[in-house]
Amino acid sequence: MDDNKIAEYGEKLKQLGIKNEVLKHPHLVKPIEVVTYLGQTLADSAATLLFIADGQPITLIRRDDVKISFSKVKKLLGIKDLRIASQEEFVKITGLPVGAARHYLPGVKQTIIDKKVFEKEYVLGGTGSFQHTIRLKSEDLKKLPNSSVTDIIEDDIAISQGLSGNKIKRVFSGIRATGRLHLGNYLGAVKGFLELEKTGQYETIYCVVDVHSITTPYKPEALRKNKREIIIDYLAAGLDPQKSLIIYQSDIPQHTELAFYFSTAETVARMQHLPTFKDKVKQYPHNVTMALLNYPILMAADILVYKTELVPVGIDQEPHLEVTREIARKMNQEYGMNFPEPIRFATKGSYVPSLSGEGKMSKTVEGSFINLTDSADVIRKKVRSVPTATTSGGEMNPGVKTLFAFADLFISSEVEKYKKDFENGTLQFVTLKDAIADAVYKELQPFQKKREEIIKDQAYIDKVIKEGAEKARSIASQTVAEVKEKMGLS
């Protein structure tokens, strides 16, 4: 069905007093696929079903997470025979493809709407196309000609959301575009992301937060290169763009737009008292900008624009996450929004120490990290730089503890042998360091080979970025539209 006919249907609904928005998406047939793509649930979808009641066509509108009660409908209409229209009948009566019914069907003289539909302020519906879905206020469905509202569903209404039979929860993870992924990112986060994908219980969004990257001093050319490198690293690590959204923050303007609306819900004083802001002021005393002050507001928008429930961040980000929850509560209380209050979520991963012997591996600390693309020689050189001691034995210093932490991760079967050598004073640190370096390089070989293959196909990388952005904008635009309406801006 072409766009003109979809637009005509939208205009016909407006003539009936039903305001609506047409949402575009890939060719999707199953309701679960449509609502998942649009960032909604089956409860947000008001399906139109064509029935034949004692020989006459009627339409029943109910949520996609419930089932029609034939006995209730028969009793309500005082009829003996009730059945779903055949495919031939559907096409003849509606003139539409089977499975693409609209809320308004002129050829049908009676429409019954289940009352549970109105528990949602906005609902989705068919347009006659598998590439378009309509969004409208549930109350406006009462304006459909010859319509009535009553209870027509089974009493045991729970139908689980999700392809796996479980409720799908949305997870959002953001990473600054300050450099390629390192070993700590890979073992501490990305491997956990891969586990999330496998469960089928989460809808995952992985965002390169390039707008956040300009809140502190940066070089444009480096940013342009780094952000793409991270996308490539994600793909090489095994993240599947068919199962997760992999996006640039700057490709979805709704992030920054929503951040401005959210800025009305927080005070300057609140932002200035955040420990992370104070730390950045000390770090960049000559670059204390409004962008830096508003960093937590933008982070809240990143998370809530997708109505995210779970955020895999470290404990150091908890103050920012609390700001996100504050904003969600205020928007819900003052404007009647339904934002979740997201919580910190721990993925399965390993703690990877810094090569400096202090803290965890970080790309912001020079000499602290191993890049996933480092060669065997570079890795050996970096591991050999871990500060140890001239002789082994006695109490372990931070550098020696770091070495054994790496040994536990990469050569666990040999750890006891090296510990005994250390205790006996016979351990040659360079031997341990080289064994660790060889094991790290071996661990990274599959990643590096896959990365080389991906780099050869730049068109594929562009496609992943483009399609991820389109899907993300489809979800984010709905949230922003809802916020604007609730705040009186539209």
Counting beta carbons within 10 angstroms of the beta carbon of residue 59, is it exposed (0 to 12), middle (13 to 18) or buried (19 or more)?
A: buried
What's the chain's average pLDDT? 89
Both 128 and 243 in one domain: the answer is no
CA gap 394, 422 in Å, rounded: 8
CA gap 178, 208 in Å, rounded: 10
Both 260 and 300 in one domain: the answer is yes
Dmax (CA) of the chain = 94
| pLDDT value for 160 | 36
| pLDDT value for 32 | 79
Strand 132-137, strand 111-114: pairing: unpaired
Q: What percent of the chain has pLDDT over 70?
A: 94
For residue 193, give Cα distances in angstroms to 75, 227, 377.
Answer: 51, 19, 29
Name the helix (H) or strand (E) containing 132.
Answer: strand 132-137
| pLDDT value for 161 | 39
pLDDT in tens, 415-455: 999 999 988 888 899 999 999 999 999 999 999 999 999 99
Q: Please determine, for residue 155, whether its predicted confidence score (pLDDT) is greater than 80.
A: no
Does a structural domain hold residue 406? yes
CA neighbor of 85 nearest in space, from 55, 64, 128, 112: 55
Does a structural domain hold residue 225? yes
Letter string b/e over residues 138-169, b meaning 16 or more CB atoms within 10 A of that residue's CB: bebbeebeebeeeebbeeeeeeebbeeeeebb
Q: Over range 305-315, report the average pLDDT.
A: 86
Specify whether the CB–CB gap between 62 and 114 falls below 8 A. Answer: yes
In this structure, of 209-213, 366-370, 382-386, the range with the lowest mean pLDDT score is 366-370
| Sign of CA pseudo-dihedral 304, 308, 314, 315 | positive
Does a structural domain hold residue 164? no
CA neighbor of 404 nearest in space, from 382, 385, 391, 388: 388
311 strand-pairing partners: 344
**Number of domains the chain is built from:** 3
Q: Over range 364-382, report the average pLDDT.
A: 90
Residue 349: band (very low, low, confident or very high) from pLDDT cuts 50, 70, 90: low
Task: Quote the Cα angle for 376-408-181, to 5°.
Answer: 50
Residue 1: band (very low, low, confident or very high) from pLDDT cuts 50, 70, 90: low
Both 309 and 227 in one domain: the answer is yes
| pLDDT value for 167 | 56
- Report the chain's C-alpha Rg in angstroms: 28
Q: Please determine, for residue 241, whether its predicted confidence score (pLDDT) is greater than 90.
A: yes
Both 429 and 336 in one domain: the answer is no
Owner of token pair 């809530």: 304
Both 327 and 417 in one domain: the answer is no
CA neighbor of 480 nearest in space, from 77, 13, 21, 2: 21
Does a structural domain hold residue 363? no
Residue 200: band (very low, low, confident or very high) from pLDDT cuts 50, 70, 90: confident
Specify whether the CB–CB gap between 315 and 288 falls below 8 A. Answer: no
Does a structural domain hold residue 369? no
Specify whether the CB–CB gap between 179 and 172 falls below 8 A. Answer: no
Domain coverage including residue 311: 169-349+478-486
Q: Please determine, for residue 93, whether its predicted confidence score (pLDDT) is greater than 50.
A: yes
pLDDT in tens, 29-50: 778 778 878 888 888 999 999 9
pLDDT in tens, 182-191: 998 888 888 8
Strand 202-208, strand 169-175: pairing: parallel
